[in-house]
Structure 1
Amino acid sequence: MKRLAIITVGKTHSGKTTFARQLEQKLTNSFVMDQDAHAEFLNTYYKMLQPKEGPNILKHSLTKLVVEYAKEYTGFHFIVSNSNRAKSTRQYLLEEIYSENEFTRILVHFDLSDDILYKRVENSARDTNIFRGPYTTFKDVLIRQEKESELSDIADPDEGEADYLFVVNDPDDVDRVIEEIVALADV
């Protein structure tokens, strides 16, 4: 049986991390790969090493190390909790990191309304220690993500992009999606 690679797609505060943690509790032999945790670690202990602008090479290198270790030394299912909104990023993950000969690849697109997201960021208690650069609030991040949506590489996932695509349009969809993914692990 192939391992699962569940990759979340969505804007900040759309529920990706909460979903990933809930799925990890229900999906035996799985772990959450969360770059926000890596960013928080680096900003806490190695802030001076962080690049001031451009790609966060240090964070990406840490993530790559953890992924390579987990692929080689564990049999865990991967739950990748990041925004993954750029189609090129998803293609890289699906083709290079979680290839179809090793993994059953699942995209979970969190497509909640902007009204819900703005309410969530305004009431957010999440630590902002993951930020690098000019962002000081999650509202700043959401505004940037809305502007990025106009770019050509930012795109909602398509059917056929991975082995399975689930769309969460409403927070009430989460339990159903979790149940369906857990059932796929048993196939």
Structure 2
Amino acid sequence: MKRLAIITVGKTHSGKTTFAGALEKELANSVVIDQDNHAEFLHTYYQSLLPKQGSNTIKYAITQTIVNHAVHETNCHLILCNSNRNRRGRLRLIEYYQKQGFTCILVNFELPDHILKERIAESLRSTKILRVASTFDDVLSRQQEETNTGDIIEPTEEEADHLFVINNSDRLPSVIREIVDLAITL
């Protein structure tokens, strides 16, 4: 059986986690790997181990351990629920999964910023996952700045085996259906 690595791409509150959870329910033998869960775990139980500045290497180590286990010890499809907005990092992920025999799918969330701001204002999501920023508004501002300076390049069809773009919530069910169909036909 050919496995899928579904990689989400998008700004904060664009629907990546909601999509990943819904896809996991529909895609048999799949698992969501979400770094926000790892960040919250560390913040809750190991706050003294978090770096005061620089990369959150312990979070990345936890994520990598879970990924390695999922890749080498299971036959699960992987749903990687992170922002994955940096093209270089995204390409490294895709290359790794393709070398492991996965079919790679990018799901790019392109919702307008005003919708993201509305979602942030209504959100009950814990800010425990945040280390550098203090609010999700701060996260969105940083992400907008990265986009405006050209540091972030939107995914293209050439990057992965498949690319889906979600520019409104109505598109979620059809993208989930298409990915489930892909898993069946591979």
Structure 2: gaps (5+ residues): none
Matches of 1:95 and 1:71 in 2, distance apart? 14
Counterpart in the other structure of 2:66: 66
Matches of 2:100 and 2:123 in 1, distance apart? 40
Structure-2 change in CA distance of 1:92 and 1:45 (3 Å): same
CA displacement at 1:152 relative to structure 2: 3.8
How far does the alpha carbon of each residue in 1:66-99 deviate from its partner, in whole angstroms, 9 at most, with x for none?
Answer: 0001111110000000000000110110112x12
Structure 1: gaps (5+ residues): none
Counterpart in the other structure of 2:16: 16
1:155 matched to 2:169: no
Counterpart in the other structure of 1:115: 114
CA displacement at 1:167 relative to structure 2: 0.1
How far does the alpha carbon of each residue in 1:32-68 deviate from its partner, in whole angstroms, 9 at most, with x for none?
Answer: 0000000000011111111111111110000000000
Q: 2:181 corresponds to which letter in structure 1?
A: A
Q: Percent identity?
A: 54
Count of aligned positions: 185
How far does the alpha carbon of each residue in 1:96-148 deviate from its partner, in whole angstroms, 9 at most, with x for none?
Answer: 2x125510000000000011001001111001110112x22111110111011
Q: Which has the higher helix share?
A: 2
1:46 matched to 2:46: yes
Give the aligned CA root-mean-square deviation in angstroms: 1.0
Counterpart in the other structure of 2:129: 130
Q: 1:92 corresponds to which letter in structure 2?
A: R
Matches of 1:175 and 1:23 in 2, distance apart? 9
Matches of 1:151 and 1:47 in 2, distance apart? 33
1:104 matched to 2:80: no
Name the stretch that deviates more: 146-155 or 68-77.
146-155
Counterpart in the other structure of 2:84: 84
Q: 2:103 corresponds to which letter in structure 1?
A: T
SS at match of 1:125: coil
Q: 1:176 corresponds to which letter in structure 2?
A: S
Q: 2:36 corresponds to which letter in structure 1?
A: D
Counterpart in the other structure of 2:34: 34
On the 8 A contact 1:105/1:164 being kept in 2, the answer is yes
CA displacement at 1:151 relative to structure 2: 3.9
Matches of 2:98 and 2:39 in 1, distance apart? 25
